[in-house]
Amino acid sequence: MLHFSDTLDFKNKDIDVFAIGELLIDMISTNYGDNFHSNNYTKNFGGSTANIAMNVKRLGGNSAIAACVGRDGLGDFLIQHLEDNHIDTSYINRVDYSTSMVLVTKSKTTPIPIFYRGADYNLEYNTNLDLALKNCKIVHFSCWPISQKNSRNTIEKVILEARKNNVLIGFDPNYHDMIWEHGHDGIEYIRNLVSKVDIIKPSEVDAERIFGPDTPENHVNKFIALGAKLVIMTLGKDGAIVSNGIETITFETLATEIIDTTGAGDAFWSGFYTGIIKGYALKDALNLGFAVSAFKLKYVGAVANLPTIEEIKNIYNI
């Protein structure tokens, strides 16, 4: 049971947050507009999991990323970018498939990306990954690696090993049928996964994809009924509802200005995890997560140039 006043007790392990999954190229249109009418695109470092590793590092935590990229120039670029940001890249595999890419139209509405997956889902479980799971406090993954067979098998082993080693498991149920293996029931798979992780952070859109339309309160209860230990249901401008199955608390949004919503969820995870690691009570770590997310919303891009935790706390008076 995760109580809101609890602080989590971690053994002395080297890696605070071990992010596993997507490290890829976001190829973003230069001009606004839907349906890829733009002729010009810009190459960017990307992947939700990679962004979390970057943010945690900027907030003063120690992060590492396990991911798979191609033996190509784009793979070189991603690894170099991580190294420039002092993130351990020793858990990155390189394979003879193209480095995965997402093509995105810069849009003021919700753009539909085009997914080009190659290397990413070939992530293998190996002894290096196994050692990291004995030496990390938190492991994080999203729907990206579990959406395809090879990396899904890897994540299943990660979960088993994390449980054995008392590693806290955070899961982002950001289901999207366009990335899921054709013929594999992703919704059913996610429902079965809920009880096997510790923390789950659905958005309203995620919850609707998994359970169909319902109220946020009912969606939270459905995750709890499936065995979720902590559900952080984000509601955009309406803040969030968080439940541990006994208590449910609501959070008002801390956002004062919204320039770009890209990466706001990853910013939350980053602040929240950093709070937990610093020994904050769960409720205070949640507040730090929402504050980091609010800060990120004021800037363009998936990874904002985050200040220190102390500055964030001063800005948002938490």
Buried b (16+ CB within 10 A) or exposed e, 233-244: bbeeeebbbbbb
Span interacting with a copy of itself, options 55-63, 94-102, 133-141, 294-302, rule CB under 8 A: 94-102
| Closest separation in Å from C-beta 182 to a copy of itself | 8
Encoded amino acid at 22, one letter: E
Closest CA to 250 of 291, 276, 287: 287
Neighbours of 252 (CB within 10 A): 10
Does the protein bind a copy of itself through residue 317 (CB under 8 A)? no
Helix (H) or strand (E) holding 55: helix 48-58
Span interacting with a copy of itself, options 65-73, 146-154, 222-230, 259-267, rule CB under 8 A: 65-73
Does the protein bind a copy of itself through residue 115 (CB under 8 A)? yes
How distant is the alpha carbon of residue 59 from its chain centre? Answer: 16
Does the protein bind a copy of itself through residue 72 (CB under 8 A)? yes
DSSP state of 5: T
Rank residues 60 and 301 by Cβ distance to a copy of itself and give the closer one. Answer: 301
Binding mask 182-201 for a copy of itself (x = CB under 8 A): x-------------------
Span interacting with a copy of itself, options 49-57, 67-75, 132-140, 152-160, rule CB under 8 A: 67-75
How distant is the alpha carbon of residue 193 from its chain centre? Answer: 16
DSSP state of 171: E
| Closest separation in Å from C-beta 1 to a copy of itself | 42
Rank residues 42 and 261 by Cβ distance to a copy of itself and give the closer one. Answer: 42
Which backbone phi and psi does 92 adopt, to 5 degrees?
-95, 125
Residues within the interface to a copy of itself (CB under 8 A):
27, 30, 34-43, 70, 72-74, 76-77, 96, 98-99, 101, 103, 105, 112, 114-116, 118, 182
